[in-house]
Structure 1
Amino acid sequence: MGAPDTVDGVTDVGDASDEGHHPALNTTGRGLLYDLVSIPSPSGEERAAAERLAAFFEANGREVWLDDVGNVRAPGDDAVLLTSHVDTVPGEVPVEIREAETDADGDHGDEADSEDDYQLWGRGSVDATGPLTAMAVTAVRTGASFVGVVREETDSRGARHLVEDRSPPEAVINGEPSGWDGVTLGYRGFLAGTYVSTSESGHTSRPEPNAIQDAIAWWNRVEEAFEPDEWTPVFEQVTTKPVGFDGGLSADGLSVEATVDVQLRVPPSTTVEAVRERAEAELEGGTVTWKEPIPPVMGDPRGELARAFRVAIRGEGGDPRLLRKTGTSDVNLYAAAWDRPMVTYGPGDSALDHAPDEHLSLSEFDRSVRVLTAVCERFVSNDD
């Protein structure tokens, strides 16, 4: 490990640029990003990445610790809480730095802003290690509070612990890919459940439906109940998806059993409770057990936080985009627990989430840090 580097007032130790791996890793933020992407951190296995992140804060004189569930906590000025998730989905994407590809006109495309732009390839570069690192660098520059949470990709254990363990900040900026010039205001909610049905075994020539048929019939009715018209945007729909099925004769051969794991996405125009009741109304046999739901969220596009992002993005030469996402994130849980202004922001193309070609433009990463810094400086006190 080399001596600590200080770049734009941000210090780091042992980052990739310090070791001279690649000329593109010429800032502390880029080096930290490379390190974190290089450390496998699927949900439940975030410890090594969390410790690397904590070392970054320690090198910059910030109080930091790993809490009871493994979240990285670096308290600061609670005018803004910067938070993103440390974990990634499974899957190996070889970590490498590539020059950005040019289009027919010789340009690097929308995600790059310079002729010598580079891309960092690797699992998590977009979802959400890029946003996580941008927030860590911004927290050190501005003094804002920071938390890197665990297990967002599975059960959101880190976020659930956080809202129970601390008081609300004044505002929350959640880290997920929106593109450096985009700000996400809305997410649909999430409802997951398991349907179970059992019937007596019998000859397959009998006309009575068995448990497998009951399960299929129930799910068909649920899909029909939430079938949208062709003019309804996806964000405003309840979408239904079976994600697992198991069925057949029981071990003793005396019954037929069927289990279906299902997921429903819930728009802000309705509630998780209403969707659950509608799905249960279609039961004619069997039972369904629901997991803890995540409610939908829709932020205020005219609020002070959203306005600050529009100003900062324009200051970097961008045309701000206000987004609504059809998925779900930890900000849904924060919004349900804390009545505070919230947006979601981060570098990266969300179309590359969980993809085999996941990669992030390093110049876009730099721009996102400048945008986040400008936003936080509007809220965080500079008093000594």
Structure 2
Amino acid sequence: MTPRDLLRALVSTPSVSGGEGDAADVLVQYFTDAGREASVDAAGNVRAPGDDGVLLTSHLDTVPGEIAVREADGELWGRGSVDATGPLAAMAAAAVETGASFAGVVEEETTSAGARHLVETRDPPEAVVNGEPTGWDALAVGYRGLVRATYAVETERAHSSRPAPNAVQRAVAWAERVQAAFGDESAGDSAASVFESVTVKPTTFDGGPTPDGHGVAATVDVEFRLPPGTTAGDVQATVADCTEHGSVAWERAVPPLAADARSPVAGALRAGVHAAGGEPTHLRKTGTCDANLYAAAWDCPVAVYGPGDASLDHAPDERIALDAFDRGVDALTTAASQLCNTS
């Protein structure tokens, strides 16, 4: 199976978070056919042990939203083609070519359960390249962190003509206070200014009468993105000051990533891009990825790389240019060859 064949097979296999099993089977078969040991661990991750001079890893899961898989004008359309099945297939192909260690992890789009299980159950590698769409000629050395929260409030039910705020009003007011406290509206539009800011994004809202009819309840789910230098504790303290009624429940945080652009893994990726005919650039991305967890858990250099246009992440027209995918495979193969101990 060629790298493009693997890409097509994976994009054609639905793998929404929590349902990655079929895609895992495709990857295991790919490594087995290439004479490599591969298996699925207790979390659902695909592991192909190899040369731990570098661990090539990306995530198996995609966000929901079906996109008809097709090729047109040199591009492969389909959910996950960019985020992050394209980088995943490139990582697997480079691992087979070079003997590097590989891991395909689950639930990056939701809980990062796969990455958390990986860092808890394997020894640190000497370097990590985490697969996310950076474009075939760029690498990322910075990502913001993430912490999620759920605000819940309940009030007694009363006639809607009365002036006292009900739970729905309290929830709306809480979300507005929190956003104002972090100055979301004053943040600049440039990628640099956003990267250095805490941003607040309500993702779901639910409210209405309680099942017994005696009260009104409301909940708001919110994501906070954390720039380097800001901790989840900093955010929680600010939110506590904004919370006069109700309660806030917090999920486990993902810390920010500020990687060293002069590290051996970054240098190897630059060499790979050069060898594939490009001029490498460095990115600091405003989202969050599993590389944040690897850098926090393991004392080794980490960088993020992968073919694909990140502006198409999660989009209804998600697609990847096949020539860019090919160059990404070439760049990764060069980089991994440079980092592997047996090279």
**TM-score, structure 1 normalization:** 0.85
Could you say which residue in structure 2 is the equivalent of 1:294?
Answer: 254
Question: What is the CA-CA distance between 1:210 and the residue it aligns to?
Answer: 2.1
**Equivalents in 1 of 2:187, 2:121: separation in Å?**
44
Could you say which residue in structure 2 is the equivalent of 1:174?
Answer: 130
SS in 2 for 1:167: coil
**Amino acid corresponding to residue 144 of structure 1 in structure 2:** A
Could you say which residue in structure 2 is the equivalent of 1:142?
Answer: 98
**Equivalents in 1 of 2:78, 2:208: separation in Å?**
40
**Amino acid corresponding to residue 223 of structure 1 in structure 2:** Q
Could you say which residue in structure 2 is the equivalent of 1:196?
Answer: 152
Could you say which residue in structure 1 is the equivalent of 2:141?
Answer: 185
Question: What is the CA-CA distance between 1:191 and the residue it aligns to?
Answer: 1.1
**TM-score, structure 2 normalization:** 0.95
Q: Does the CA contact (< 8 Å) of 2:84 and 2:132 recur in 1? A: yes
The alignment of Structure 1 onto Structure 2 pairs a total of residues equal to 339
Q: Does the CA contact (< 8 Å) of 2:187 and 2:194 recur in 1? A: no
Deviations 1:300-339 (A, max 9, x none): 1122221222222122221211001111111111112112
Please state if 1:61 is matched with 2:35.
Answer: yes
Please state if 1:258 is matched with 2:207.
Answer: no
Could you say which residue in structure 1 is the equivalent of 2:314?
Answer: 354
**Amino acid corresponding to residue 276 of structure 1 in structure 2:** Q
Question: What is the CA-CA distance between 1:147 and the residue it aligns to?
Answer: 0.4
**Equivalents in 2 of 1:162, 1:266: separation in Å?**
23
Q: Does the CA contact (< 8 Å) of 2:52 and 2:341 recur in 1? A: no
**Equivalents in 1 of 2:193, 2:206: separation in Å?**
32
CA RMSD after TM alignment = 1.4
**Equivalents in 1 of 2:10, 2:166: separation in Å?**
50
SS in 2 for 1:55: helix
Could you say which residue in structure 1 is the equivalent of 2:337?
Answer: 377
Question: What is the CA-CA distance between 1:230 and the residue it aligns to?
Answer: 4.7
Please state if 1:34 is matched with 2:12.
Answer: no
Name which of 190, 194, 199 aligns with 1:234. 194
Could you say which residue in structure 2 is the equivalent of 1:72?
Answer: 46
**Amino acid corresponding to residue 17 of structure 2 in structure 1:** S
Alignment of structure 1 residues 44-123 onto 2, 5 Å: 44-99=18-73, 118-123=74-79
Please state if 1:164 is matched with 2:117.
Answer: no
Deviations 1:133-154 (A, max 9, x none): 1111100111100001111111
Deviations 1:78-130 (A, max 9, x none): 1100000111111111111112xxxxxxxxxxxxxxxxxx2111111111111
Name which of 258, 266, 278 aligns with 2:238. 278
**Equivalents in 2 of 1:195, 1:34: separation in Å?**
41
**Which stretches in structure 2 are left out of the alignment for 5+ residues?**
none
**Equivalents in 1 of 2:214, 2:81: separation in Å?**
51
Question: What is the CA-CA distance between 1:247 and the residue it aligns to?
Answer: 1.5
**Equivalents in 2 of 1:304, 1:55: separation in Å?**
31
SS in 2 for 1:181: strand
Deviations 1:140-178 (A, max 9, x none): 111100001111111111111111111111110000110
Single out whichever of 311-320 and 335-344 deviates more from structure 2.
311-320
**Equivalents in 2 of 1:209, 1:32: separation in Å?**
56
Deviations 1:1-20 (A, max 9, x none): xxxxxxxxxxx3xxxxxxxx
**Equivalents in 2 of 1:151, 1:296: separation in Å?**
19
Could you say which residue in structure 2 is the equivalent of 1:125?
Answer: 81
Alignment of structure 1 residues 310-325 onto 2, 5 Å: 310-325=270-285
**Which stretches in structure 1 are left out of the alignment for 5+ residues?**
1-11, 13-27, 100-117
Identity of aligned residues (%): 55
Deviations 1:33-69 (A, max 9, x none): 1111111111111111111111111111111111111
**Equivalents in 1 of 2:254, 2:341: separation in Å?**
33
Question: What is the CA-CA distance between 1:382 and the residue it aligns to?
Answer: 2.5
**Equivalents in 2 of 1:121, 1:244: separation in Å?**
29
**Amino acid corresponding to residue 353 of structure 1 in structure 2:** D
SS in 2 for 1:218: helix
**Equivalents in 1 of 2:202, 2:297: separation in Å?**
29
**Which structure has the bigger radius of gyration?**
1
Q: Does the CA contact (< 8 Å) of 2:187 and 2:197 recur in 1? A: no
More helix by share: 2
**Amino acid corresponding to residue 368 of structure 1 in structure 2:** G
**Equivalents in 1 of 2:329, 2:322: separation in Å?**
11
Could you say which residue in structure 2 is the equivalent of 1:220?
Answer: 176
Question: What is the CA-CA distance between 1:372 and the residue it aligns to?
Answer: 0.7
Deviations 1:178-201 (A, max 9, x none): 000010111111111111111122
SS in 2 for 1:279: helix
Q: Does the CA contact (< 8 Å) of 2:49 and 2:102 recur in 1? A: yes
- Which of 1 and 2 has higher RCO (CA within 8 Å, sep 6+)? 2
Question: What is the CA-CA distance between 1:364 and the residue it aligns to?
Answer: 0.8
